[in-house]
A and B are shown apart, each in its own frame.
Chain A
Amino acid sequence: MFTDLNAHIVSSEPDSQGDFFLVTEACDSDGSFILHHFLTQYLKSSSKVVFLGLAQSFSHYNAVAQKLGVNLMAARTSGQLDFISGLQYSFPLMREEGSSVQSSSQDTILQDCIISKSLHPLYKQLQKYIGKETGTQTYDGTLLMIDDLSILHSLGVETSQIANFMQYCQQSGSIVSLLHCDGDEDEEMLSLSTQLQHACTCHLMIEGLPTGFSKDVHGQLTIRQKSSNVDNARPSKKMLQFKITDKNVSFFPAGTSSAVL
C-alpha cells in the first residue's frame, strides 16, 4: 500500500454501491504496481478479496505482497482472500484438440466461455466465491480484482462480452481491474477501454513519459474521478509523475522530481 497514492484518490461516498477502479496501461508502461497497492490496501482494511489472476501465478503475487508487508498465504487460509488461478483456465485453450491430458471440469471454464461466446460461465464461477459463506468472520465489503482483462481478449473473447461481464461484476461490489491498451492498434480494444472508462468511478491511466526514458521518473499517472454528486460536478483530473523504488512508489506533481529541482 502506497500512502502517497491514497492522498490523491478521494474515497467514495458511503452510500454508493461500490468503487470501480479501472487501471489502464499503455504499451510502454506497467500498471501492475497499482494493483498491488489496492490488493494490500483492501486486505489491510479487512475487506474480502476475490482475485482473478490471469496474468501471473499466485506465488508471484505472494512474493510482491510480502515485500509490501502483507502475507497472501495467511489471508488465503483465513478465507479473506480467494485466489482464482486464471492461468489454469487458459491452459486447455492452448492444448491441441484431442490431446490425451485429462483436465478437470473447472479448468475448462474459459473453453466453455469461448464455445458459448459468452463469459457467463466465468461469471458463475466468480459468483461462487463472492457469495460464499464466510462463517463467523465478517468483512467490510467485497473487492473483485482482475489482472488483467486484456488477456481475455487475447484468448479470443469478444470485447462486447468483456463489457457485459464487467457490468455484471460491478453489481457485486468494488472492482479493481487492469486493462492493457496498445495505442491505436486495436479498434475493438480502444472501444472497450472507452466503454469501461464511462462505467468506472475512477480511472487511473499509466503511461511512460512522453519525453522518453528517465532514470528518476518512471512514468506518469493520470487520475480521473467521477462523482455522482452535483455539488462537486466538476471533473477532477490529476496528472502525477512517479518513481518506483524497491518497496515504495513516490508520486509527485509533474516536473517536481527531486532529481529536477
Chain B
Amino acid sequence: MASLLKQIVSGSESGCTVTIHDTVDHSGRYLLKCFLKEMAQRVDEIHLFAFDQAPDALLAGTDPETRRKVKGHDGWTDPQGWNQDRNVIPSNYNAVQLSSEKSLVEHVKDRKGSGSGQIAVVIDSLTPYILHRSAPFTCKSLHALTHLPETSEFQVTQVVSLIHSDVHDDSVLRAIGHLSSTVIHVSANMSLAPLDREPMGYCDIQHKRASGKVLQKREGYSVGENYQIITFLGLPSTNTTSEPEHQPDPTANLTFNLTLSESEKKARENVVLPFTKASNNSTTGSGQIFYEPDQADDYDDEDPDDDLDI
C-alpha cells in the first residue's frame, strides 16, 4: 500500500490546492518545506509568500537547487508600511504589504521570470492574510491563483499553504477547506525515538481527487535530512506487525445455502424483473405499471430489494 502523503508531496497524486492545518503543539512548517523541496523538481518557479517569518529564515536549510527556483515575496518585514520612513536595506525579495490592494496573482505576475510557464505558490501562512484581509477575500485570492484564464502566459499548477487552525474559528477553516483539494491536519506525536524510527507527527489527510472521489487517511510522518519526507503506514506504531486475525466464517456449516455458485449467478442475471419495461413489452391493456430506474435511483443488480424497508 503506497503512502497517500508521499504521493501528494511527490505530485503523483495531484492536488492543486493543498492546505496544511497546524496548531501550537505541532508546526506544519516542516511538512511545508518538504513540499517546497519536492515541487522544485516539478515546476519552473516557486513563488514563496512569507507572512509569518522572514523569507531568509524560511529558506534556511533548503538546498541551493531549491533556492534557485524560489522567488520570495516578503510579507513579514514591513506588512503595514511602518518602516517606510526608515532607510531600509534593499533586499532581493518583493515586498508585500497587507494593506495594499494588490492581489497575489499580480505579485506573482510582477516577479515572474520570462518563459516560466509552470508555477507553484507556497504561502506561509494564510493566518495573517486572513486576519488582515478577511476570510472571503483570502478565498477569492486563492481561487484566482488556481483558476487563471486559459490565455494567461503562466499557469499555477499547485498552491500549498499553511494555516494555523487554532487561531481561526470553524467557519473560516471550513471555507478554506472547501476550496482546497487536499486538507492535511498535522498533530504531534510525543516520543523520544529517533525521527526515522517513529513518526514525529501524524497527518489526517482528506484528499479530493479530480474524479470526485474523496480519500480520508491518517498517516504518520517524519522529516529527515534535507527535508526528505518519511512516511509511516499502519498506526499507531510501525514496529509491531500484527498478524491478520483469523475471521470465523459464519457461512461455513449451514444447513442451507447462502452463497451462489457461478451457474446460479448466471441464472439469476437472466431473470427479467416484473414491471420493468423489458418484461411488459408484450402485454397490452390499460393502467400498466412501469418501473423505470431514473438516474438518481441507486439501482443495484445484486440486490434489487435494497430499497425495501423490511
Binding site for B on A (CB under 8 A): 16-17, 118, 120, 123-124, 127, 160, 163-164, 167-168, 171, 191, 194-195, 197-199, 203, 224, 226, 228-230, 233-235
B49 at the interface (CB under 8 A from A): no
Question: A118 contacts which of B24, B80, B188, B195 (Cβ < 8 Å)?
Answer: B80
A-B contact count (CB 8 A): 64
Task: Report chain B residues within 8 Å CB of A171.
Answer: 54, 77
Closest CB-CB distance, B128 to chain A, in whole Å?
8
- B26–A235 contact, CB under 8 A? yes
- A233–B223 contact, CB under 8 A? yes
Question: B80 contacts which of A164, A198, A224, A226 (Cβ < 8 Å)?
Answer: A164
- A233–B200 contact, CB under 8 A? yes
Task: Report chain B residues within 8 Å CB of A197.
Answer: 24
In the complex with contacts A230-B61, A233-B195, A234-B192, A120-B166 CB distance below 8 A: no
- A230–B80 contact, CB under 8 A? no
- A160–B132 contact, CB under 8 A? yes
Task: Report chain B residues within 8 Å CB of A164.
Answer: 79-80
Cβ proximity bits B52-65 to A, threshold 8 Å, 1 near / 0 not = 10100100110000
State in angstroms the CA–CA spacing of A202 and B222 once bound together: 22
Closest CB-CB distance, B77 to chain A, in whole Å?
7
Question: A230 contacts which of B52, B77, B225 (Cβ < 8 Å)?
Answer: B225
Task: Report chain A residues within 8 Å CB of B132.
Answer: 160
State in angstroms the CA–CA spacing of A198 and B168 once bound together: 13
B185 at the interface (CB under 8 A from A): no
Closest CB-CB distance, B17 to chain A, in whole Å?
22
State in angstroms the CA–CA spacing of A164 and B79 once bound together: 8
Interface residue SS majority, chain B: loop
Cβ proximity bits B184-202 to A, threshold 8 Å, 1 near / 0 not = 0000100110010000100
- B interface size (C-beta, 8 A): 34
Residue among A163, A171, A233 having the largest count of chain B Cβ atoms under 10 Å: A233
- A198–B82 contact, CB under 8 A? no
State in angstroms the CA–CA spacing of A228 and B222 once bound together: 15
State in angstroms the CA–CA spacing of A92 and B176 once bound together: 43
State in angstroms the CA–CA spacing of A120 and B78 once bound together: 12
Task: Give the top 3 A-B pairs by smallest Cβ distance, nearest first.
Answer: A197-B24, A194-B167, A194-B166
- B127–A230 contact, CB under 8 A? no
Residue among B52, B167, B191 having the largest count of chain A Cβ atoms under 10 Å: B167
- B192–A229 contact, CB under 8 A? no
State in angstroms the CA–CA spacing of A120 and B76 once bound together: 16
Question: B127 contacts which of A17, A195, A234, A235 (Cβ < 8 Å)?
Answer: A195
Closest CB-CB distance, A224 to chain B, in whole Å?
8
Closest A residue to B78 by CB, please name it: A168
- B24–A198 contact, CB under 8 A? yes
**Contacts A171-B54, A195-B167, A228-B60 given; 12 further ones with Cβ under 8 A?**
A127-B86, A164-B80, A167-B128, A191-B167, A195-B131, A198-B52, A199-B52, A230-B223, A233-B195, A233-B200, A234-B192, A234-B200
B93 at the interface (CB under 8 A from A): no
Task: Report chain A residues within 8 Å CB of B227.
Answer: 230
Task: Report chain A residues within 8 Å CB of B60.
Answer: 228
State in angstroms the CA–CA spacing of A124 and B26 once bound together: 34
Task: Report chain B residues within 8 Å CB of A167.
Answer: 76, 79, 128
- A229–B223 contact, CB under 8 A? no
B154 at the interface (CB under 8 A from A): no
Which residues of chain B from 4 to 21 have a CB within 8 Å of any chain A CB?
A: none
State in angstroms the CA–CA spacing of A171 and B131 once bound together: 20
Task: Report chain B residues within 8 Å CB of A198.
Answer: 24, 52, 127, 164, 167
State in angstroms the CA–CA spacing of A199 and B76 once bound together: 12
